[in-house]
Amino acid sequence: MSHALPFSPSILITGATGFLGGALAADMLAKPEWDNVLLLVRGEDASHAYQRMLRSLARFTFNLELLGRLKPEQVLSGDFTQPAAFIADARLTGIKRVVHCAALTSFGANTRVFSTNVDGTLRFVHHLRQVATIERFLHVSTAMICGDQPTAIVREDEFPRARVKHLVNYTESKAEAERLLRLTLPGFPLVVVRPSIIAGHTRLGCSPSGSIYWTFRMADALGMITCSSAARMDVVPVDYAASALRHLLVCPQLAHPTYHISSDEQSSCTWREIAAAFALTRVKVAHVALAWGGHESAGGGAETDYRTVEFEEIAARRQEFDTLFGPCNKKFMLAAANLYAGFAALDTVFDSSRLRAEGMPASPRFTDYLHVCEKSSSAYTIADQGTIDFA
Ligand SMILES: NC(=O)c1ccc[n+]([C@@H]2O[C@H](COP(=O)([O-])OP(=O)(O)OC[C@H]3O[C@@H](n4cnc5c(N)ncnc54)[C@H](OP(=O)(O)O)[C@@H]3O)[C@@H](O)[C@H]2O)c1
């Protein structure tokens, strides 16, 4: 008579129903270490959490054989901010490596941002280390903890620091979580990972999520930006960010306690290049339309640069918003445009030499896969795609 061995995973991932965590889980699904993965997922019960996880993976792969690799016992139902409810689960005792992707990422004025991202994260880590011997805890933060006045090239050790003015509460909460984790857990094998702006997927475009990509569509629809078109945007695709996270997770040794996942100088793009990539996509669409017997205007204009304007000029066009962005709440869209204009004006890139020294290649350029994002976004209005970042 044979008895199945109890499932004893060694890797824990949180936030795998989200954009980055989902991409990470999908990346690992085909890898040997998948069988050792446990996923902490919110749900009404274990079965609901499992179904949510399955749906998350299905955004990234249609391969049923691969999806079949997600076993119900790999999903632990729980809210990371309430660890007392799940910490006694026997599956946690063998956990050695963790990727903590879960966070409240809303850019809106969500009052739970600090209680989730700061208090909740601290509570989660402090509970987890009581039951498991952790050898590496990857805490996913954000490069945007740099605030509103970063230098042209930001290096990991410059932040977090005092007296930084944040553009949104969310980035402030991530900076505070980093600070308190370091302060309260001396000697803990904490590795902070800071992705820059994540938009789209190199193969799937915005099918898994249109998060942030809609803001580029917004600028393109207006043909206007509030910064110089020579300003650089540090954007990475979610599949690259996921693969970098996995690399940092499985790498036997890491040289540093903090890493950027970014496009850096070599793969970042200027707004002028982004404008040209959008224009090229329109030209291609127009050619396809012509080939199918359409009219010359089918693809829209082929402007190859944006006009730099004061924000008031964008506000003055609010009556056009329904036409440009799809039916929308104009006040909301204006506030969003104002907020993202702050990020666009940073004109900063995040140094990624540490990540590359660990063996990761450079990030793909946003402009090289923008056409994939565009194609997969065509069924959604800009306004609809935008709601995700303010939920
Ligand atoms: N996307 C970016 O551009 C970007 C850039 C830099 C850094 N980051 C960082 O990357 C991480 C992932 O971001 P994302 O864009 O993937 O965010 P996301 O799509 O909003 O996903 C957030 C994830 O966190 C989970 N979560 C939130 N609160 C939870 C709780 N109390 N208990 C359990 N799970 C909880 C969500 O689960 P539910 O499905 O149950 O809500 C979801 O799986 C975050 O730490 C973020 O700060 C993101």
Do 135 and 190 meet the contact criterion of CB atoms below 8 Å apart?
no
* Domains of the chain with bracketed CATH: 11-201+234-267+348-364 (3.40.50.720), 202-233+268-347+365-391 (no CATH)
Asked whether the beta carbons of 238 and 201 are under 8 A apart, the reply is yes
Confidence of residue 387 (pLDDT cuts 50, 70, 90): confident
Residue 215 one-letter amino acid: T
What mean pLDDT comes out for the span 310-329? 96
Question: In sequence order, what E strands does the chain have?
Answer: 11-14, 37-41, 75-77, 97-100, 136-140, 153-154, 190-195, 197-198, 224-225, 232-233, 235-236, 258-261, 269-270, 307-308, 349-350
| 56-112 pLDDT, tens digit each | 999 999 999 999 999 999 999 999 999 999 999 999 999 999 999 999 998 877 889
The DSSP call for residue 139 is E
First to last CA, the chain: 52
Q: Which of 212, 84, 273, 234 is nearest to 154 (CA)?
A: 234
- Which value, in Å, is the radius of gyration of the alpha carbons in the chain? 22
**Is 60 exceeded by the pLDDT of residue 364?**
yes
- Please give the distance, rounded to the nearest whole angstrom, from the Cα atom of residue 137 to the centre of ligand 1: 16
Contact by Cβ (8 Å): 202, 163: no
The rounded mean pLDDT for the chain is 94
Which residues lie below 8 Å from residue 293, measured CB to CB, with a gap of 6+? none
Burial per residue of 117-131, b for 16 or more beta-carbon CB atoms within 10 angstroms, e otherwise: bbbbbbbbbebbbeb
Q: Which residues sit with their C-beta closer than 6 Å to ligand 1?
A: 14-15, 17-21, 42, 79-81, 101-105, 116, 120, 140, 142, 174, 195, 197-198, 211-212
148-195 pLDDT, tens digit per residue, is 999 999 999 999 999 999 999 999 999 999 999 999 999 999 999 999
Whether 124 shows a pLDDT value over 70: the answer reads yes
Identify the bridge partners of residue 224 per DSSP, sorted by sequence position: 307
19 Cα: distance to centroid of ligand 1 (angstroms): 7
Amino acid at residue number 360: M
Query: What distance in Å separates the CA atoms of residue 328 and residue 217, rounded to the nearest whole number?
Result: 15
Across residues 205-219, what is the average pLDDT? 97
Question: To test ligand 1's pocket by mutation, which of 19, 80, 105, 154 has the most ligand atoms within 8 angstroms of CB?
Answer: 105
Index of the ligand 1 atom closest to the CA of residue 19: 16
Give me the sign of the Cα torsion angle 179, 185, 186, 189: negative
Residue to mutate, 12, 17, 44, 139, ligand 1, most ligand atoms under 8 Å from C-beta: 17
Percent of the chain with pLDDT over 90: 90
Residue 298: per-residue pLDDT: 42
Question: How many residues can be counted in the chain?
Answer: 391
Instruction: Look at residue 271 and tell me whether its pLDDT is greater than 50.
Output: yes
The pLDDT tens digits for 296-312 are 544 444 568 999 999 99
Query: Of the candidates 242, 279, 285, which has an alpha carbon nearest to the alpha carbon of residue 261?
Result: 242
